[in-house]
Structure 1
Amino acid sequence: MIAKLRGLLDSFGADHAVIDVGGVGYLVSASTRTLSGLGAIGDEVVLHTEMQVSDDAIRLVGFATAEERDWFRLLTSVQGVGSRVALAILSALTGDELHRAIASGDKAMVARSQGVGPKLAQRIVNELKDKTGGIVLGGGGTVPGLAPGGFSADAVSALQNLGFRPAEASAAVAKAEAELGPDATLDALVRTALKKAAR
C-alpha cells in the first residue's frame, strides 16, 4: 500500500502527474485543484495517495491534503461514484464547499461537477449526510483571504510559477478578484493580477 509520495515533479497532464521518486516515475491521477498547486517541473512535491486495485489495473490517486484524500474515500463509498467522478467533484468543490452542500442537502451544488447528474448528486448528499462529521474543515485547498472555489487558487499558483512569492501572488489575485468579481475567468484573473503585482 502506497500512502504518500515525496519526489520531484517530472511531468503532468490534464488529469495526472508523474512523480520521480528515486528514479522511479509514479503516474498519479489527481484533481485539477491538486495539480494546479504542484508547482513547476523539477520542484519537490509531497502527495497523500490512495492505491486502487481492480481486476485489470492498479491506479494511484494523489491529493494535496489528507482532508482531500478523506473526501475521496467517502465519495467513492457511494454507489455509482468511481475515482473519476470523485476527482471531478474534488476539482469543482473545496472540502468546505462539499461539506456545506451535503449538510444543507444542496444537490445542485454537487451536480456542478462534471459527470454528476441530479440523481447521483442526490444520492451523494443522502448517503454522506451522516458520515461527514469526521472530516476536519478549514483546509479545503483555498488560499487565505480569497473566496473558496472559482479560479483564485489556480491564479495564485500560476503567479507563483512565474516567480512571485506566495504572499505577493495571493494579494495580487485578491485585488484582481475584487475588481473583476467572482465570475472572472482564470485568464482574466491572471492578467489582472499580473498588472496589480507589477505596480
Structure 2
Amino acid sequence: EQEARKILARHPKNLERTSKGLLVANAILTREPGQIKAFPKIKRPSGFGLSGVCISGDDTISGISLLTGLNVCKTPSMTANMDTDLKQKFMFASKMLSKFGVVVLHIKGCDIAAHNREAKKKSEFLEKIDAELGRFLNKWEGKLRIAVTADHATWSKKGIHVDDPVPVLLHGKGISADSVKRFDEFQASKGSLGLFRLHKLWEKFFA
C-alpha cells in the first residue's frame, strides 16, 4: 500500500492536483467488500453454444464475467456511465451472436442516474435503451431468446441500493407470452414467472 501511494503521488494527474492545492488520489476505497466464494457449476443446456461473452464498460461486471468463464468485449466508447455508446454495444451484441452461444450485454447508465437522484435522466436513458433494443430485435426476431433484467435495484429518490425485486422479461423462440403489458416492477410481479431468486434465471431462460 505504501509503495502504491509513492507511485501514485508522482502521477501527472496528482502532480497537477498538488499544484492546485488539492488532495491527491492515492488509494482505492472499496464499498461493501466481500469474499470470493466458489461459483456453482452451471448446467449447460443441450443444443446451445457452450461459450459466452460479456459486453460491458464496467470493470466489476467484467471481473465477474471472467470469474464465471465468460469472455469480455469492450471498447473505449463503451463506458460505465450514461455517455456509453449504446449503438455500438448493440452492434457488438449482434456481431458476437455469430461467435458465441450466450451474449451478456450490460448497461450501467441507469444505475448512475439513480445514484445521482436524477429520476428524469434515468427514465430518458431507459428510453434510449428501449429504442436500441427495438432495432436489435427487429434484426433478430425469431432467431434467439433474450432476457431483460437488472442485477439490483437503485432507488432514485434517495440514491441508494435497495433489496426490492427487479423485473424480468423473457422473450423469443419457445417462450409463451403472459398477460403482462408493461415492463415495470409492479406489473412484472404479477406475471407467469412469479418471484424467484435471480440465480434461477438461467434455468428459467433455458426451460
Q: State the TM bucket, normalised to the shorter chain.
A: under 0.3
Relative contact order (alpha carbons < 8 A, sep ≥ 6): 1 or 2 greater? Answer: 1
Structure label with greater radius of gyration: 2
Q: Which has the higher helix share?
A: 1
- The structure richer in strand per residue is 1
